[in-house]
Amino acid sequence: MNPLLTLLQINDSVFPIGSFTHSYGLETYIHKGLVHNSATTKSYAQSMLRYNMYYNDAAFFAKAWQLCEGKFSKVKLLELDRLVSSYKSPYEIRQASKKLAIRFLKVVDGFGAARRCKSYLEAIQSGEAGGHYPIAFAMYAQSQGISYEDALSAFYYNTLNGIVTNCAKLVPISQMDGQQILFDLQGLIQELVNSQADMDEDMLGNCCVAQDLRCMQHEKLYTRIYIS
Using only C-alpha atoms, the chain has a radius of gyration, in whole angstroms, of 17
Amino acid residing at 52 = N
Task: Count CA within 13 A, CB hemisphere, residue 127.
Answer: 0
Average pLDDT score, the chain? 95
For residue 173, the domain's CATH number is 1.10.4190.10
Is residue 223 situated within a structural domain? no
Is residue 80 situated within a structural domain? yes
Residues contacting 83, CB < 8 A, separation 6+: 205
Indicate if the pLDDT at residue 14 is higher than 90: no
The whole domain housing 113 covers: 3-12+21-218
Give tens-digit pLDDT for 45-62.
Answer: 999 999 999 999 999 999
Is residue 226 situated within a structural domain? no
Give tens-digit pLDDT for 175-216.
Answer: 999 999 999 999 999 999 999 999 999 999 998 888 999 999
Give tens-digit pLDDT for 82-127.
Answer: 999 999 999 999 999 999 999 999 999 999 888 999 999 999 999 9
* H/E stretch holding 209: helix 209-218
Do 163 and 177 form a contact (C-beta atoms < 8 A)?
no
* Alpha-carbon gap, residue 218 to 28, rounded angstroms: 6
Do 213 and 78 form a contact (C-beta atoms < 8 A)?
no
> Residue 13 — very low, low, confident or very high, per pLDDT cuts 50/70/90?
confident
Number of domains in the chain: 1
Is residue 79 situated within a structural domain? yes
* Alpha-carbon gap, residue 141 to 124, rounded angstroms: 19
Which spans in 26-174 are helix H?
26-31, 38-47, 57-69, 74-87, 91-109, 115-126, 133-143, 148-170
Q: What is the pLDDT of residue 207?
A: 84
Is residue 228 situated within a structural domain? no
Angle 41-86-73 from CA coordinates, rounded to 5°:
110
Q: Phi/psi class of residue 176: alpha, beta or left (left: φ > 0; alpha: ψ in -120 to 50)?
A: alpha
Q: What is the pLDDT of residue 34?
A: 96
Amino acid residing at 153 = S
* Alpha-carbon gap, residue 133 to 108, rounded angstroms: 13
Is residue 64 situated within a structural domain? yes
Is residue 48 situated within a structural domain? yes
Is residue 225 situated within a structural domain? no
